[in-house]
Amino acid sequence: MERTLIIVKPDAVQRGLIGEIVARFERRGLRIVGMKFMQIDRQLASRHYAEHEGKGFYESLLAYITSAPSVVMVLEAPNAIELARRTIGATKPIDSPPGSIRGDLGVEVGRNLVHGSDSAESAAREIDLFFAPEELVNWSRDVDRWVFE
């Protein structure tokens, strides 16, 4: 099983899209093993987006992610990272296919609704930033045998 971090960003929360977005991941077959509603502070945001420090959009990115609450989740499935990223769509909503979260609900790259880890290394680092090990639940769903081989 692979795990990935998902952030339902402030714009999605403000637009009332939490349920819609979580439902898309669940319908896809990804299993939620951790979830919290939280206000991301500047210190956590700067650690999360450390690779963008010094770039022209860095300060606006921090202002955006700390502007309102977010929902942070850890999802699990075989190939969870790629499954989640395809469910989310391309970074630019205009380049995202219909049926993806950003393709159906997004308009601009600066308000692209959802973050998803882009690699196993990023996922491990990001999960550790947002969740203590005891906050993640190891469990199985009765339906898993119909989703996972």
Q: And the tokens for 86?
A: 């395809």
Beta bridge partners of 70: 38
Distance CA 35, CA 135 (A): 8
Q: Is 48 among the catalytic positions?
A: no
Q: Which residue matches tokens 């939620």?
A: 32
Which ranges constitute the DSSP H helices of the chain?
10-14, 18-28, 42-48, 58-65, 80-88, 101-105, 120-130, 144-147
Residues in CB range of 82: below 8 A, 6 or more apart = none
A 10 A CB-CB count for 113 gives 24
Of 24, 85, 102, 115, which one is the catalytic site residue? 115
Catalytic positions are 115
